[in-house]
Amino acid sequence: MGSRAKTLVAGVVLILAAVVVAGAIALGPQALGSAEPPTDDAPTVQQQELTTVRGIIGSEKESLFADPEAKEIFARHGLDVQVTTSGSWAMAERADIEESDFASPSSEIAAAHIEDVHGAAVLSTSRPFYSPLAIATGDTVLAVLEQNGLAEKRDGVWYLDMAAYLDAVANGRRWTDLAGSDAYPSSRNVMITTTDVRSSNSALMYLSLASYVLNGNAVVTSEDAAREQASTSLARLFLDQGYSQSSSSGPWESFLSKGPLNQPLTLIYESQYLEAQMNEPSRVTDAMRICYPAPTIFSDHVVVAFSEAGQRVQDVLENDPDMARVIARHGFRVNGANSAAFSEQVGSAGLTGYAADGTFIDAAQAPSYEVADVMLQTIEALY
């Protein structure tokens, strides 16, 4: 081959190489063999394929589902979970509940209510975590209660004697009637502040607990007995409060804002108090304390699935160990294989004054859905 021919061939090769490089540049770095990740303007395949899942939850779980880490864990499983809040007992009456993929009331009784009304639409239920009922209060209040045999401190944990407390309510005792009331000279009745029992699960669990104690620490099984109790002793626990908020976040927020001297006994879930301590900025002051009813009662947070997508949410909440850690960081006790997550989280946060796992020997049982419904209908008729 002559020198002229060689020069022409070299020129053609250079032109072809330039075309290949230009095409590769136009196709992006991956065409050149680059392992660089896509930019923020180019969503990942996982982000493009997330399934939107809609749920209705109790307000005490709102911060859990809004947690960025919880959202990231759901996304790992291909889920974008969007929730709205509702009082647990009121969920069953919502017209849109069957259009949701799942509902998460705060007790088995409330879940049974949903199943009773919407049973044909329910695919499955699960109980991934729970919380004992508790009382938010303060040092000054507890000192007065202790002096009058209404509260005691055991192993660094405060307990309210429910039988003694219910007796004080039945007799209309005021704070000024108690020994040592100079430290807390309130003229109001000794009474726990709750949510509206007609719509909220925490008040329903309080109702269940009170009925158990008033029945000699035994579950009320007769509808006639339930009706009699509800029309007298139980009704007073709610009617004498006056206005009650519809969701458990309401009284808790009021307690945090106004303090224990303004709202001395506030019914909460243990999870609300522990969550507030473990997540900054904490609004729990040194004068505030958590106290447990004795006996207490557990509130199982049930997930009721109406679709396969809802069942995928159940699976993540039940089985993902990273999600268990997030659940525990929001103050909930975890059921199942990942139950140690709760002790690990509260332990690493250095929390004190809470009841450790396995210490709830004396726990009340809730009545059946049918008996609870009789109690609620009886009290509702008295409003």
Domains of the chain are 45-129+301-348 (3.40.190.10), 132-298+363-380 (3.40.190.10)
- Decide if pLDDT at 58 tops 50: yes
The amino acid occupying position 337 is A
Q: What is the pLDDT of residue 43?
A: 44
Please choose, from the candidates 150, 116, 125, 124, the residue with its C-alpha nearest in 3D space to the C-alpha of residue 135: 150
The amino acid occupying position 369 is Y
Q: How do residues 193-242 score in pLDDT, each as one tens digit?
A: 999 998 888 999 999 999 999 999 999 999 999 999 999 999 999 999 98
Q: How do residues 243-293 score in pLDDT, each as one tens digit?
A: 888 777 889 999 999 999 999 999 999 999 999 999 888 999 999 999 999
Which two three-digit tokens encode residue 89? 């007992």
Tell me the C-alpha distance between 279 and 230, whole Å. 39
Please choose, from the candidates 103, 98, 112, 110, the residue with its C-alpha nearest in 3D space to the C-alpha of residue 55: 103
Q: What is the pLDDT of residue 281?
A: 87
Q: How do residues 339-364 score in pLDDT, each as one tens digit?
A: 999 999 999 999 999 998 778 888 99
Tell me the C-alpha distance between 44 and 46, whole Å. 5
- End-to-end C-alpha distance for the chain, whole angstroms: 108
Tell me the C-alpha distance between 104 and 265, whole Å. 27
Band of the pLDDT at 48, cuts 50, 70, 90? Answer: low
Q: What is the pLDDT of residue 95?
A: 86
- The answer to whether 346 and 164 are in contact (CB under 8 A) is no
Q: Considering the chain, what is the average pLDDT of its residues?
A: 88
- The answer to whether 265 and 192 are in contact (CB under 8 A) is yes
Q: What is the pLDDT of residue 122?
A: 96
